[in-house]
Amino acid sequence: MTSNSTSGNLCEPNDKLCITREYQLEVIVVPALLLLGTAITLLTVLILRYCHKGKRTRVTAPQHYHSSTHRHTNRHSHRHHLYGIDAPPGINPLEHEEVPMKVQQVQQNSKQTPTAVPQVSTERHQGAFGQVTALPQSYSIKPNDTVNLYRGSMDSKNVILRVLKDTATSSEKQHFLGFASFLSELGPHPFIPLLLGVVSVQPPLIIVVEELKHRDLLGFLWKCRQDNSGYDMTEKMIFTMAGQVASALEYLHSKSCIHSNMGARSILVGEDLTAKLWGLGSVYRRRTQLGSPGAVDDMELSKWQAPEVLAGRPVSPSSDVWSFGILLYEMVTLGDPPFASIMATELLQYLQRGKSLKQPATCSNSLYSIIKSCCQWNPQQRLSVSELLRVLHTKEKSANGRTVLRVTEPLNFERYMREAGCGEAFNFAVL
């Protein structure tokens, strides 16, 4: 018998309530269960997709590579607010992107070069990030054709964005990411500008580091010459800032890195007048270049170089100590160039005759003795960085913190360029 005939036997033709009860399982319960199951399935899929997207959009600071353990340490950080003024289109650094970094050894011209490789490719939504402003340039030995500099804000902190230009070649991209990997591997130090993140998944490629308010030390020293600038330099401040730079230099040497480009131009000054060592591009180039290890790079100024470097011999930690002595000279003279009356091409012969930096009128005997100990012709007779750091800390305690250093002669930019041995514009904004 069919179900219709069965229901007809059980219920009167006009008894709708009886018929409804007879068919409620097929007509009401089953469709309701199917609808509820569909709704639960859709809700589960949406929740899973949302959670997966949330994981992909987490921002990760670069991981530090530890060669001794070959492990990486994660430092997660959410970058919700990266903004400034008048953002160029397409720049969206660190927003919705996760960039784990690792150092991969690649074979190149029989030498092994560390290269940054993203472990995963992640999504980055264009247009989600708003505003940055172009960073004004100082002057340069030669312009940087591959990187633009911008100032921005991230988590209410000022940052500098090194943005690789779209016209960069594949080798320039590799160099850019290699430098980012080098900074990540180097790790944090209180007197080295902090690397905050890297955008490496898709262009524009960006390295983000903290911004220091007063930028390069050389420009800050020139400000100190102005009576109405609001900035003063004392001998005690010199010992304090120099000690901070020496601490960073000691850290670099412990990582088997030689700076080779020390000078006031490669020191950055924070709002609280903390000095941090930068200009690390020369460190990375020296680790990867195939040329002579003693050659003077075209981004370096010969008047800051040790005699052995001028003579084409390999650089060493003691070469950095020589340059550190020149840095002290710059600080105590509020930004005068070293060996101002000597042509750069004649400097090596000048030093070979036993000549040295003359004591500035503003320099105490105590500070000048350190400069002389750094700038000894024989590298073995120079202070080691650890000795230098100890002497600076000792002298800082008794240094004069009241008398402000004054240089009555105003800065003549063209003359500075000539006396510093710069043939063309040089960018002292080393970021």
Tokens for 166, please give them: 């779209």
- The structure's pTM equals 0.69
Select the more confidently predicted residue: 23 or 312.
312
Return the pLDDT at 39: 84
Residue 70 has pLDDT above 70, yes or no: no
Number of CB atoms found within 10 A of residue 226's CB: 12
In DSSP terms, 275 is beta-bridged to 269
pLDDT band at 120 (very low <50, low <70, confident <90, very high): very low
Return the pLDDT at 63: 38
Residue 79 has pLDDT above 90, yes or no: no
- Which among 64-68, 126-130, 244-248, 398-402 has the top mean pLDDT? 244-248
Those residues with Cβ within 8 angstroms of residue 88's Cβ, 6 or more apart along the chain or in another chain: 132, 134, 150
Return the pLDDT at 298: 46
Contact criterion met (CB below 8 Å) for 338 and 326: yes
Residues shown for the chain: 431
Return the pLDDT at 97: 37
pLDDT band at 110 (very low <50, low <70, confident <90, very high): very low
Return the pLDDT at 83: 37
Return the pLDDT at 26: 66
Return the pLDDT at 61: 41
Return the pLDDT at 143: 53
Return the pLDDT at 23: 66
Residue 105 has pLDDT above 80, yes or no: no
Contact criterion met (CB below 8 Å) for 192 and 277: yes
Q: pLDDT digit string (tens) for 382-423?
A: 999 999 999 999 999 999 999 999 988 888 888 998 899 875
Residue 56 has pLDDT above 60, yes or no: no
Residue 65 has pLDDT above 60, yes or no: no
Return the pLDDT at 37: 82
Distance of CA 172 to the CA centre of its chain: 17
Tokens for 135, please give them: 């960073």
Q: pLDDT digit string (tens) for 246-273?
A: 999 999 999 999 998 899 999 999 999 9
Return the pLDDT at 137: 57
Return the pLDDT at 203: 81
Q: pLDDT digit string (tens) for 320-369?
A: 999 999 999 999 999 999 999 999 999 999 999 999 999 999 999 999 99
Distance of CA 83 to the CA centre of its chain: 18
User: Nearest-CA neighbor of 108 among 200, 166, 175?
Assistant: 175
CA distance 174 to 162: 15
Averaged confidence pLDDT in the chain: 75
pLDDT band at 75 (very low <50, low <70, confident <90, very high): very low
Q: pLDDT digit string (tens) for 271-320?
A: 999 999 998 988 898 888 744 444 445 445 789 999 999 999 989 999 99
Amino acid letter for position 210: E
Phi-psi region of 122 (alpha: psi -120 to 50; beta: other; left: phi over 0): beta
Return the pLDDT at 24: 63
The arithmetic mean of pLDDT across residues 207-224, rounded, is 91
DSSP structure class, residue 29:
I
CA distance 146 to 173: 9
Tokens for 113, please give them: 């070069």
CA distances from 328 to 34, 183, 263, 337, 360 (A): 81, 26, 9, 11, 11
CA distance 179 to 251: 18
